[in-house]
Structures are given as structure tokens and as C-alpha cells.
Chains A and B, each alone.
Chain A
């Protein structure tokens, strides 16, 4: 399995700054129609993006429906973005829509992990910094492009230039488009060794079911 590497992305950023945007909002469960990781982009933010789920008539108020955000690849978000359900469909839908990076003061933990596993970069910045970037973008959304550089760990938006922290392991995976499973399989001897020892020290965990109802 191959994952898109992430080095740098420059483009239109859209702001959805309210706190606690949950994964039910990012992709409602009713949009997860098939046993599949694809075909989810259309369901992204379906609850607020369409006037009615059935007709798919776009809601003019929703930021990503506005023409200047057509090529949006960066989301500027509020605290605790991606909280709630573990559904990885939220990340698959964002990616399919074209989002490459999300900038927020904090993320739901499972969601942030899911992002990294799929080559989508979660950037954590202080709330005031996210708001400053959003303000600058809002002056001319189609032209005021934001750049996020993972090699340099830097976000640039006009006169704003800030560095951000990324966990070293996540950074390596994103930069190299690494598949975490393949990476871990290089540690196979250590895992097998651990497994063997655990079977000796905690034998009860490996007992089979003692009685069937």
C-alpha cells in the first residue's frame, strides 16, 4: 500500500473556526454507503454543504461552496477539530475533496492519527495564530495563498510566518509517504520476541474460552 508523501503545499485556505467540529459533521454516517475507502468526497460536510441531502443542492452559505474556495487545499479550523467518532472516513473524505493540510489549535487524537496514516498533515498552532491566518486569507481568499512546508516545519501566509511542531515519527511517515505497517514489519524480530515472552509471563491471556454458553 502506498501513501502520498507530503512535503509542501501552497494554495487556497478556508476557515471553519468554530470549536469541536466532530467527525459526524465532517462525514455523516449516512454518507458512508459502501464497504470502501473511496467515493466519500461528495459526502464531506454533507450536513451543512447541501440544502437537502437528497437533492445535493449546494447551500450558498457554506464556505467550501463559494467560488473563491473551489480549489481549497488547506482548512483552518477551531479547537478539537475531528473529535468524536473514530471513523477514518472523515480523513478519506477530506482527502478526496482535495484537502492536504488542516491547521487548528488542537485535534481529536484518533483523527490526527488517521490524518498521518493517509498523508494528510495536521498542523497545530495557537488559536490566535490560526485566527490571524484566517483574517489575512479572508481579505482575498482566492489570491491570499497559504504555504505549509513540512520540511521546514513552517507556515507562511503573507507577512505571517510561523514554525510548528510535528512529532518526529509522524513527520518521517508523511515526508516519505511511509506505510506504517511496512515500517513496523522491520521490527518483526522484536515483536515476535515480545510475544513469546508474554505468552510465558501471562499465560492466562492465551487460554481459550473456558465455557461456551
Chain B
């Protein structure tokens, strides 16, 4: 029978069926981070349980570490140090590989894993972090779990999982200039709603997806969870294979040939059936920006806040009140106080290059706070090797060490009360980036041009 990529991945890992909906699935790789990993490991220890296969478990210090140059274990987040210290000792005890502060490989978990070649086509990979779906870009089954499930995976190398339905989202045609993977996924979520992918494992396909490089594919898959999908996946192809070659954990020699042979077998069969299929014409996608507090509150940057907000829609009214906006108000030209380039969505080298291209030789608007936090220390080093740090610094950006930073507010550093921020991150939830901070999500190039003008700006104005 013809199978989808998802079916192949699932069936490859099926240990046994538990009931009509739930299967016991074998887990190849587990990632932890200091925000939740310490709790999971301490809880295991309290229950007298052990990690089954520590050499397949990895941990990143990323969520609450500071990103100021010269940082140490002390963080601006109250009690942050406790999480860092507890994690370090718990992973050492368990024999887990740690990408610690000071390690040149340190960075955001979903940036580090691909960079190191730890995620590969055909693996199952879980992490107690919702954006684990980022790594589905490699044709891996990668999804976010809770702490209890992380404990389960650590101890049993398996998870009980409800089998999701399958959906394919085909992006037809080609992207217009200044339109990126971020705009693709924001468009998808705006068109079908923040719960549009609920219950589905989504395969992103079509010529526009095949044309994306690995970093852009990760951006696309990263926001599958903002579409409420179980995960997003993309069929592995030559782009995937060439990205992985030579990475520290990638197979080498004969094993590589054997692996690539297997990886090629993973794509959906031509006549495979999906539970649901969506088709998007890329000609319809413009640079996008969010206006509200859900990623579905998103419009083309040339548009205005939708008018159809009435008393019948208290959620949208609440979002507008929070954002300090009115129906019909234009987004382009809206003054911003800050710009943020960072996160597992958009802080890889290609994102930094796209932003630097428009920043080169220019200065951000007077009084604007602009921050760039590379997704990993390797991204940072690669950017510095081509002089991008100078471009950012000369333009007036802070140039940080790597981590999640102000992608989320954990009680430490933040953008401030009712400050309006344009951000390359993935969540515009209330107070996500600080108490009552107003976040507008956009692509790196849109954030960069907006920083220059001091207001939300259409990147096509700079073409």
C-alpha cells in the first residue's frame, strides 16, 4: 500500500499497538534543556529510576542563560542559577552529553541539534519543548512533549503516542522577492487558524518547499506547533543530505552510504493518501506581520488590522486592546520601540545574512532598541567570520551570545511595559516577551528594515 512519509516514520518505530488510537513508539534521540530537564531528571531520581540509554540523550543550556557577553551561571532571571546548576549536576550524574555555557557548540536546542547532525532523516526525536517540530525539516519525526513524557522516554526509550492524522500542505509556485519561509507559515496560520493543524502530522511539500534551503525549512517546521499540529515534516532530499555531510554526529564512510540509501526511501509514495490536503499558491504570499496576540492574527504588511472585529468577537477585541490598536489601522508606519532578531525560528546564519544585507551601511532609528541573538555560538562564530557582527553593531544592534534570550520572558530581561517590538520569534502571546510587551511577529528582513525606519516597514520598499 502506498505510504506517506509520516506513515513510514511511524511504522518504522512502532514497537506495538496499545489500543485503537495509541501506539508504543520507539524513541531514537532525546533532548533536554535547563528549564525542564532538571525537573525531569530530579523527578526520575526521586522515583529511583534510571536513564536507559544516556548516549542518545543530549542537553542544551539555552532557555534561561543570559546572553550578555561575558555571561556566567548568574542570570537576570530570578533563581535562574538554580536551574543551571541543577541541570549541570543532574546530566553529569546521568551521563548525558551537555552543550554547556562556554562550549563553542552551545546554543538553542533546535539550532544545535541539526548543526551537530544529531537529528537525521528517519529518526524519532523528542524534547520537552514545543518547538521540537523544527527538526522535522530533516524528515525526522520530531515533536514536543511534557516533562512526564520526557521522563517516560528517558527511562523506557519509548512513548505512548496517539497516532495523529496526516495532512499535506503543498506550497505551489515560487516565492516573491522579500518573502521568506516565515511569511509562508504565517500566511498558512492566518488562512486556516491557529488550531487549523490540530490532530495532524503535517508534511510540507511542493516546489516552493523543495526550493528552500535547510535553514528556511526549519523556520517553516518551527511554527507547525503554532498551527497546533502534532509536528511538521519535510521529505529528505539532496539538500538535506548535503547539509548533514561532515557534521560531528552524521554518519561517515560506508555507514553514510547505507544511511543515505535508507533516507532516500522515506519520501511519500506518489499515490499516498493524506487525511487532508491544503494547497497554497505562493503568488498570494506577501511579507506578513501579526497585529494581535495569536499567530493567526496576521495580515500582509501592506494591509490594515481587519475590520470585522465586533462585540461578537471578544478574543479579537481583547487582542486589540492589549496591542493598543484599532480595527482598520494600518500596520505599515506603526512606530516601534524595539526590534529583536533571535530564537529557534529565525536566528540561523541565513537569517542573519538576510538582515545584515539591508542593515549594511545604515543605522537603526534614533532611540530604538535593537538586539541580535544568534541561534548558537557556531552561528555567531560563522557570522563573525564573514563580518556580520560589525554590520549589526555599526547599525546600532546589540550583538549577543546565544540562547533563547528575549524570545520569552522568564522574570529577567524584557522589553518593558507596553513597548512595541517587532520580532523574528514565533509567539506573540500576551506578555510573552515581557510584562504587557506588544509583539509583532515578522521575518528577519522585515524586522531589519523596520528597525531602520523605527516603524513597521514593508521590506519591498528597500528592494
Binding site for B on A (CB under 8 A): 1, 18-20, 22, 24-25, 28-30, 32-37, 47, 53, 78-80, 83-88, 91, 106, 108-111, 113-114, 117-118, 167-170, 180-181, 183-185, 187-188, 190-191, 194-195, 198, 202-205, 207-213
Q: Are B15 and A28 in contact (CB under 8 A)?
A: no
Q: What is the chain B residue whose CB lies nearest that of A118?
A: B148
Q: What is the chain A residue whose CB lies nearest that of B200?
A: A109
Q: Say which one of B151-159, B204-212, B452-460 lies at the interface with A.
A: B151-159
Please judge, given known A-B contacts A20-B315, A191-B157, whether A211 and B248 are in contact too, CB under 8 Å: yes
Q: Are B26 and A209 in contact (CB under 8 A)?
A: no
CB contacts (< 8 Å) of A30 on chain B: these are 77-78, 409-411
Please judge, given known A-B contacts A28-B431, A32-B410, whether A79 and B148 are in contact too, CB under 8 Å: no
Tell me the smallest distance from the CB of B53 to a CB of chain A, in Å: 8
C-alpha spacing A117/B364, complex, angstroms: 48
Which listed residue (A88, A106, A204) contacts B195, Cβ 8 A?
A106
Which listed residue (B24, B296, B435) contacts A187, Cβ 8 A?
B24
Interface members, chain B 235-275 (any A CB < 8 Å): 248-252, 255-256, 258-259, 262
Tell me the smallest distance from the CB of A78 to a CB of chain B, in Å: 8
> B172 interface residue, CB < 8 Å from A?
no
Binding site for A on B (CB under 8 A): 15-16, 18-22, 24, 26, 28, 35-36, 38-39, 42-43, 47, 49, 53, 55, 77-79, 82-83, 86, 104-105, 116, 120, 122-123, 128-130, 144-149, 151-152, 155-158, 160, 162, 164, 194-195, 198-199, 225, 228, 230, 248-252, 255-256, 258-259, 262, 294, 296, 314-315, 318, 408-411, 427, 429-432, 435
Q: Which of the listed residues B42, B104, B146, B225 has the most CB atoms from chain A within 10 Å of its own CB? A: B146
Please judge, given known A-B contacts A18-B314, A187-B24, whether A113 and B149 are in contact too, CB under 8 Å: yes
Q: List 22 A-B contacts (CB under 8 A).
A: A1-B43, A20-B315, A28-B409, A30-B411, A32-B410, A33-B78, A33-B79, A35-B38, A80-B195, A83-B194, A83-B195, A85-B427, A88-B128, A183-B160, A191-B26, A191-B158, A194-B15, A194-B26, A195-B157, A204-B255, A204-B259, A207-B255
The 5 closest A-B CB pairs, nearest first, are A30-B411, A204-B251, A114-B146, A117-B148, A88-B146
Tell me the smallest distance from the CB of B365 to a CB of chain A, in Å: 29
Q: What is the chain B residue whose CB lies nearest that of A193?
A: B15
C-alpha spacing A20/B129, complex, angstroms: 18
CB contacts (< 8 Å) of A168 on chain B: these are 19-22
Q: Which of the listed residues A25, A36, A195, A205 has the most CB atoms from chain B within 10 Å of its own CB? A: A205
Which listed residue (B24, B79, B162, B256) contacts A204, Cβ 8 A?
B256
Please judge, given known A-B contacts A113-B149, A212-B248, whether A24 and B82 are in contact too, CB under 8 Å: no
Q: Are B250 and A86 in contact (CB under 8 A)?
A: no
Q: Are B408 and A24 in contact (CB under 8 A)?
A: yes
Q: Are B16 and A187 in contact (CB under 8 A)?
A: yes
Besides the known contacts A35-B38, A86-B128, A167-B21, 7 further A-B residue pairs in the complex with CB atoms under 8 A apart: A19-B315, A47-B430, A88-B147, A168-B21, A180-B148, A183-B160, A187-B158
CB contacts (< 8 Å) of A191 on chain B: these are 15, 24, 26, 156-158
Which listed residue (B20, B36, B155, B228) contacts A181, Cβ 8 A?
B155
Q: Are B427 and A24 in contact (CB under 8 A)?
A: yes
Tell me the smallest distance from the CB of A167 to a CB of chain B, in Å: 5
Tell me the smallest distance from the CB of B177 to a CB of chain A, in Å: 32
Q: Are B410 and A29 in contact (CB under 8 A)?
A: yes
Q: Are B22 and A167 in contact (CB under 8 A)?
A: yes
Q: Are A184 and B160 in contact (CB under 8 A)?
A: yes
CB contacts (< 8 Å) of A205 on chain B: these are 28, 120, 123
Q: Are A204 and B258 in contact (CB under 8 A)?
A: yes
C-alpha spacing A209/B250, complex, angstroms: 8
Please judge, given known A-B contacts A24-B431, A169-B160, A213-B105, whether A110 and B15 are in contact too, CB under 8 Å: no
CB contacts (< 8 Å) of A208 on chain B: these are 55
Which listed residue (B28, B42, B146, B158) contacts A86, Cβ 8 A?
B146
C-alpha spacing A157/B18, complex, angstroms: 33
CB contacts (< 8 Å) of A106 on chain B: these are 195, 198, 228
CB contacts (< 8 Å) of B249 on chain A: these are 207, 209-210
Tell me the smallest distance from the CB of A166 to a CB of chain B, in Å: 10
Which listed residue (B28, B230, B314) contacts A109, Cβ 8 A?
B230
C-alpha spacing A205/B24, complex, angstroms: 20
Please judge, given known A-B contacts A109-B228, A204-B259, A213-B248, whether A185 and B156 are in contact too, CB under 8 Å: yes
Q: Are A181 and B152 in contact (CB under 8 A)?
A: yes
Tell me the smallest distance from the CB of A16 to a CB of chain B, in Å: 11
Q: What is the chain B residue whose CB lies nearest that of A211?
A: B248
Q: Which of the listed residues B28, B77, B130, B149 has the most CB atoms from chain A within 10 Å of its own CB? A: B130
C-alpha spacing A146/B378, complex, angstroms: 55
CB contacts (< 8 Å) of B145 on chain A: these are 86, 110, 113
C-alpha spacing A22/B292, complex, angstroms: 14
Q: Are A184 and B152 in contact (CB under 8 A)?
A: yes
Q: Are A181 and B151 in contact (CB under 8 A)?
A: yes
C-alpha spacing A86/B129, complex, angstroms: 5
CB contacts (< 8 Å) of B22 on chain A: these are 167-170
Tell me the smallest distance from the CB of A130 to a CB of chain B, in Å: 14
Q: Are B248 and A84 in contact (CB under 8 A)?
A: no
CB contacts (< 8 Å) of A114 on chain B: these are 146-149
Q: What is the chain B residue whose CB lies nearest that of A80?
A: B195
CB contacts (< 8 Å) of B39 on chain A: these are 35-37
